[in-house]
Amino acid sequence: MSSNSQDQEIDLGQVFSKIGGFFSNLVDKFFDFLFFLIKNSIIIIILLVIGVGVGYFLDKSSKTYNHEIIVSPNFGSVDYLYAKVNLLEAKKKENDTVFISNLGIKNVKKLGKIEIEPVIDLYKFITSKQENFDLIKLMAEDGSLDKIVKDEITSKNYPFHLIKFSTSKTISEDALVKPLLTYLNDSEYFNIVKQQYLENTAVKMRANDSTIAQINSLLNDFSKASSGNQKSSSLVYYNENNNLNDIIKTKDGLVTEQGDFKLRLINNDKVIKDISVTTNIINTKGTNGKLKLVLPILLVFMFLLFHWFKGFYKKQLQKRG
C-alpha cells in the first residue's frame, strides 16, 4: 500500500511538473513573439500602411457591380429564353465582341458572367393549374420536395426567372439592359404568336362585353318590372325556373374573366416581359471592397511566415551540420 501511494505521488508530481513546464514554455513563446513584434515594429507598421494604401486603391479601381432582371417568359417561350441567355454567355466566353456589340451593348469588356435561374415560387406554381399540383404530388412520391422544386422540369415552369450579370463599372439601362431585352425579344415566331394571342384576346373581350351588356339589359328589365309589380311571361319563366341566379353568376364570371384578360394584356405585351430591373448593386461578397483590411493583414502574415521559415531553416541546418 505504501509503495502504491508513493508511486501515485511520483506520477502526480511528474504530471504537475510537465504542466508547469508547458505553461512556462508557453509564456516564453508569448514573450519571444512580443519582443519580436517590438523589435520589428517599424517594418510591421510600414507593411500595414502599404497594405491599407494599396488595398484602398484596389477597392476603388476594381469594384464589381451586380445587376438583376426579373422576367416572365410568355407564350411558352421559357426554353427559348434560356437558350438565348446561354448563347450570349457563350459568345462572351468566346470574346465575340462583334456579336455582342451588334446587339447594341456598349463597353463589352466591362460585362461579366451572364446567367439565368428560376425564381422559385412553389405556391404560385401549384395554384396556377390543377395539372401542376398533380405533377408535384406525383413527383413527391418518388423523391424529396426540395429536389423537386429545383428540378429542371419544374423550375422552367415557374412564372418568373432571374437574369444576373456583373460589370466592372456602373451602367445605365439604355447602355445594357434595354439592348439585352431587345435581344431576348427578337424572335419572329414568338412575336407572331404574341400578335395572334393579342388578337384572340381582343375578340374574346369584345364578345364578353357584348354578353355582359345583354345580361345588364335583362337585369334592368327585371328591375323595372319588379318595381312596377309587373312580370312579363319571360321574366316569370326565368324566376320560376331559377335561371336568374345562373345569369348573375354568368355575368360575375365574365367580369372576372375580363379583369384577368386586362392583367394578361399588361404582362403579355412582350414575348419576354421585364418585371423588375435592379442595377448597380455593389458586390461585397468575398474580398470585394475589403482589400484595405485584408491586404495589410496578409502582408504582416507573410512577413511573420518568412521569419518563421527562416528560423526553421537554420535549425534544420544545425541538425545536419
Give me the pLDDT at residue 297, please.
Answer: 84
121-143 mean pLDDT? 63
Give me the pLDDT at residue 181, please.
Answer: 93
> pLDDT-based confidence at 226, cuts 50/70/90?
low
> Percentage of the chain with pLDDT > 90?
20
Give me the pLDDT at residue 275, please.
Answer: 92
pLDDT in tens, 179-215: 999 999 999 999 999 999 999 999 999 998 998 888 8
Give me the pLDDT at residue 240, please.
Answer: 43
> pLDDT-based confidence at 292, cuts 50/70/90?
confident
> pLDDT-based confidence at 235, cuts 50/70/90?
very low
Lowest mean pLDDT among 43-52, 55-64, 106-115: 55-64
> pLDDT-based confidence at 135, cuts 50/70/90?
low
> pLDDT-based confidence at 221, cuts 50/70/90?
confident
Give me the pLDDT at residue 196, please.
Answer: 94
| C-beta of residue 48 within 8 angstroms of C-beta of residue 299 | yes
CB-based contacts of 164: which residues, under 8 Å, 6+ apart?
Answer: 66, 67, 68, 114, 115, 116, 117
pLDDT in tens, 236-259: 544 544 567 788 888 888 888 889
Give me the pLDDT at residue 289, please.
Answer: 67
20-25 mean pLDDT? 69
Give me the pLDDT at residue 241, please.
Answer: 47
Give me the pLDDT at residue 81, please.
Answer: 94
Evaluated on CA atoms 239, 242, 243, 246, the torsion sign reads positive
Lowest mean pLDDT among 11-25, 61-75, 268-282, 288-302: 11-25
Domain ranges of the chain: 2-60+289-320, 63-190+273-282, 193-267
Say whether pLDDT at 37 is over 50: yes
Lowest mean pLDDT among 147-151, 232-236, 262-266: 232-236
Give me the pLDDT at residue 244, please.
Answer: 74
SS3 of the chain: the string is CHHHHHHHHHHHHHHHHHHHHHHHHHHHHHHHHHHHHHHCHHHHHHHHHHHHHHHHHHHHHCCCEEEEEEEEECCCCHHHHHHHHHHHHHHHHCCCHHHHHHCCCCCHHHEEEEEEEECCCHHHHHHHCHHHHHHHHHHHCCCCHHHHHCCHHHHCCCCCEEEEEEECCCCCHHHHHHHHHHHHCCCHHHHHHHHHHHHHHHHHHHHHHHHHHHHHHHHHHHHHHHHCCCCCHHHHHHHHCCHHHHHHHHHHHHHHHHHHHHHHHHHCCCCEEEEEEEEEEECCCCCCCCHHHHHHHHHHHHHHHHHHHHHHHHHHHHHHC
- Alpha-carbon gap, residue 210 to 254, rounded angstroms: 10
